[in-house]
Amino acid sequence: MKSALAARSSAVDSDTTSARANPGRRLKVMFIPLSYVLAHTVRPIEIAKVLRARGHEVFFVGVDASTPRSKMSLVRQADFRHVVAPEPNHPYVWDRFIKHGWFKTSIDLTFVSRWAPLHEIIESHVEIIRREKPDIVVGDSSVSASTSAYITGIPVACVQGAYFLDHINSNPYYRMHLRSWDRWNLEPMRRRVYKRHGVKPVNAMRLLCSIPILSPDLPTLYDPSPRCPHYHTVGPILFDHPAPPPEWMDELDDGTPNIYVSMGSTGIFDTFLNRTYEALGKLPYRFLVTTGGQVSKDTMQQAPANFRFAEFAHGGDILRHCAAMVYHGGNGTMYQGLAAGVPMVAVPAHLEQELVVRHAVRHGFCLAAPKPRKISGYALAQALKRVVEEPSFRECAQRFGQQVRETNGAERSADAIEQVAWLGASAEAYFKSARP
């Protein structure tokens, strides 16, 4: 990782980096997660644990831990310092999506001030950077990390799944649409901040693609991103919720095939369960559901006798007893299943999840089911029978599982962050070195 990073960073302006470069020194690292989404919070936490163990100072920036649906309480549980700052209101967008669907929600997204006052978010992060003086900013799906680092002239890195960059770079129509949406909705707010701080405006998409990107993926699942010259595949970053074992754990070795069901923190769970209960209740399987707080009490009370529920649980422990997994297409959940060598059926709710599922299906360890609003219990039951009964799915999952278990994404991410910070190249230096 270190030699590869040094080679890829050779094009960065040496005059810009020489004053700050100081290999081996103790670092101060600032993480900016999208704290309303579990995966985008726990990956930075796992990386931060490694950096802390190496003697570096680490702190997190995000909404107050008491904010409903934020996962910043996990940061506190891991004993990291937390500086309060605004974030995009992800629950507003998600709730609109669940209630109205994607088309109407996409219209709502144009009213950015309702859910993402970007200028306020960036200003807050700039103020924190100047007060705390970190050596590097690390974002995970953050809309502001690269911009705030660019304004303040410090190094930055971003944790970003390969599926998203692959889609942007391989789909000209989507890339054009995303750039247009950014130009009309977010760019005016960034320009206000640039003007206030006397900084030359830059194209946000180009800036994001120019900085070091840490992909928490297996290199055998995704191709490198040619538009991102400082792209590093670090490997999956696994996390298990620090929850006590569910009371039903002792049942799992009685000979009944177990199916793990998880929708992470972004699933349309009630709809999915209500549409599939009847068919799944007739199968000779036991369904182990971790709800993430997304399933109503009424829905759980209506469950067939072969369902078990827990709000949170140690997914890795459960999966060791499972014949298959049903999941929402989340990247982290997919790797959790692969680590256990478990085949899976995906029920993606939106584009990001669909992108992950396409790769999972292409590599042979997963079947895709219809979206939660359209799925039938019969279709899901048939897909489950296939992945449980046809050996090829499990064999494929086990092959990739060996790779997942041998790859420590958190360690490799920490290596990369150290090298970027010690090199000392600012976000602006990376931007200037990248191709237009």
Q: Which domains are present in the chain?
A: 2-235+408-433 (3.40.50.2000), 249-406 (3.40.50.2000)
Band (pLDDT 50/70/90 cuts) for residue 19 is very low
Annotate 269-306 with DSSP letters as a single string: HHHHHHHHHHHHTTSS-EEEEE-TT-S-HHHHHT--TT
Q: Is the pLDDT of residue 434 over 50?
A: yes
The model's pTM is 0.92
User: pLDDT exceeding 70 applies to what percent of the chain?
Assistant: 94
Band (pLDDT 50/70/90 cuts) for residue 228 is confident
Q: Is the pLDDT of residue 16 over 70?
A: no
Residues 45, 51, 55, 59: is their CA dihedral positive or negative?
Answer: negative
Higher pLDDT, 44 or 20: 44
Q: Is the pLDDT of residue 436 over 70?
A: no
Q: What is d(CA 30, CA 132) in angstroms, rounded to the nearest whole number?
A: 9
Q: Radius of gyration (Cα) for the chain, nearest Å? A: 22
Count of Cβ atoms closer than 10 Å to residue 387 Cβ: 23
Given this model, what pLDDT does residue 17 score? 47
DSSP state of 400: H
**Cβ atoms of residues 29 and 56 within 8 Å:** yes
- What are 305's two structure tokens? 């006798």
Higher pLDDT, 204 or 387: 387
Q: What is d(CA 418, CA 426) in angstroms, rounded to the nearest whole number?
A: 14
- Which of helix, strand or coil describes residue 66? coil
Q: Is the pLDDT of residue 8 over 70?
A: no
Start-to-end CA distance of the chain, whole Å, equals 26
Q: Which string of b and e fits 159-180 if b means at least 16 CB within 10 Å?
A: bbbbbbbbbbbeeeeeeeeebe
Band (pLDDT 50/70/90 cuts) for residue 247 is very high
Q: What is d(CA 231, CA 227) in angstroms, rounded to the nearest whole number?
A: 9
Residue range 146-151: average pLDDT?
96
Given this model, what pLDDT does residue 113 score? 81
Which range, of 104-118, 125-139, 191-205, 271-285, averages the lowest pLDDT? 104-118
Residues 87, 92, 98, 104: is their CA dihedral positive or negative?
Answer: negative
- Closest to 62 in 3D by CA, of 170, 181, 143: 143
**Cβ atoms of residues 6 and 407 within 8 Å:** no
- Closest to 163 in 3D by CA, of 48, 332, 8: 332
Given this model, what pLDDT does residue 110 score? 81
Residue range 93-112: average pLDDT?
83
Given this model, what pLDDT does residue 15 score? 43
- From residue 274, how far is each of 199, 221, 372, 431 by CA, in Å? 53, 33, 10, 49
Band (pLDDT 50/70/90 cuts) for residue 20 is low
Q: Is the pLDDT of residue 319 over 50?
A: yes
Given this model, what pLDDT does residue 167 score? 76
Residue range 57-64: average pLDDT?
98
Tabulate helix, strand, coil % of the chain (nearest 5).
50, 15, 35
Given this model, what pLDDT does residue 18 score? 43
Q: What is d(CA 306, CA 98) in angstroms, rounded to the nearest whole number?
A: 27
- Closest to 265 in 3D by CA, of 167, 337, 345, 332: 332
